C-alpha cells in the first residue's frame, strides 16, 4: 500500500501519469485477487527502473492497453534482479490483442519475429500466438547468468513496434 500511496501523492498532472497510476491500481487489484504477491516489495527507483531484491521474485506484468507492458504501474520499465533469483512472472493480458512475455538476449531493434528465450522457461506458453485478451499466464525461470536481457512480446510485429523492456540480472 505504500507504493500506491506514494504514487497517488505525486499529484499526477498528465494523463499519462494518471493512466500509470490507474494501471498500478488495476495491477494491485488483479494481483491481490489472484493471490499473487509482488515480493519482496519491488522498489521503484527514478528512471523507470524496478530493482528487486531477494532470491524469490514475483512480478505482476500487464500487457496493454496497446502494445506496451505495464509493470508496477510503469510503462516498459527496466527490471533488475539478483543473479540466481527464481523469477515468476504473473502475466495478465488486459488488452484486446494477444500478447506474451519472453526474456531474450538480443536488444532492439527487433524484426517481425524476435529471438528465442534466453533462459529456460523464460516465456509464457505459446508465445508466438500469445495469451488471449483477458487471460492470464505465467513463466518461471532462474536468472542464472548475470547480464543485460530484454523482455519482449513474441507475437509477430509487437516487439518491433516497441513492446519490450530491459531485464537486468545483477552480478
Ligand atoms: Cu504483444
Complete domains list, the chain, with CATH: 2-170 (2.60.40.420)
* Residues, CB within 5 angstroms of ligand 1 (ion): 99, 153, 155, 158, 163
Phi, psi (deg, nearest 5) at residue 133 = -55, 135
- How far is the centre of ligand 1, averaged over its atoms, from the C-alpha of 2 (Å)? 30
Q: Cell digits for 75? A: 510503462
Cβ of 115: how many Cβ atoms within 10 Å? 16
Q: How far apart are CA 166 and CA 69, in angstroms?
A: 11
Segment 136-149 shows an average pLDDT of 98
User: What average pLDDT does the chain have?
Assistant: 83
Helix, coil or strand: residue 79: strand
Q: Between 112 and 10, whose confidence is greater?
A: 112
- How far is the centre of ligand 1, averaged over its atoms, from the C-alpha of 97 (Å)? 7
Q: Between 161 and 30, whose confidence is greater?
A: 161
Amino acid at each position: 500500500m505504500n507504493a500506491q500511496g506514494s504514487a497517488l501523492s505525486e499529484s499526477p498532472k498528465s494523463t499519462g501519469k494518471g493512466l500509470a497510476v490507474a494501471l498500478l491500481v488495476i495491477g494491485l487489484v488483479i494481483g491481490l485477487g489472484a493471490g499473487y504477491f509482488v515480493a519482496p516489495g519491488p522498489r521503484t527507483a527514478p528512471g523507470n527502473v524496478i530493482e528487486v531484491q531477494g532470491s524469490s521474485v514475483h512480478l505482476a506484468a500487464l500487457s496493454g492497453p496497446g502494445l506496451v507492458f505495464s509493470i508496477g504501474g510503469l510503462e516498459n520499465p527496466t527490471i533488475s534482479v539478483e543473479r540466481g533469483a527464481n523469477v515468476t512472472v504473473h502475466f495478465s493480458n488486459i488488452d484486446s490483442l494477444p500478447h506474451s512475455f519472453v526474456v531474450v538476449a538480443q536488444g532492439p531493434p527487433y524484426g517481425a519475429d524476435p529471438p528465442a528465450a534466453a533462459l529456460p522457461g523464460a516465456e509464457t506458453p505459446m508465445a508466438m500466438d500469445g495469451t488471449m485478451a483477458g487471460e492470464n499466464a505465467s513463466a518461471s525461470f532462474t536468472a542464472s547468468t548475470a547480464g543485460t536481457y530484454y523482455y519482449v512480446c513474441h507475437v509477430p510485429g509487437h516487439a518491433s513496434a516497441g513492446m519490450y523492456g530491459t531485464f537486468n540480472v545483477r552480478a
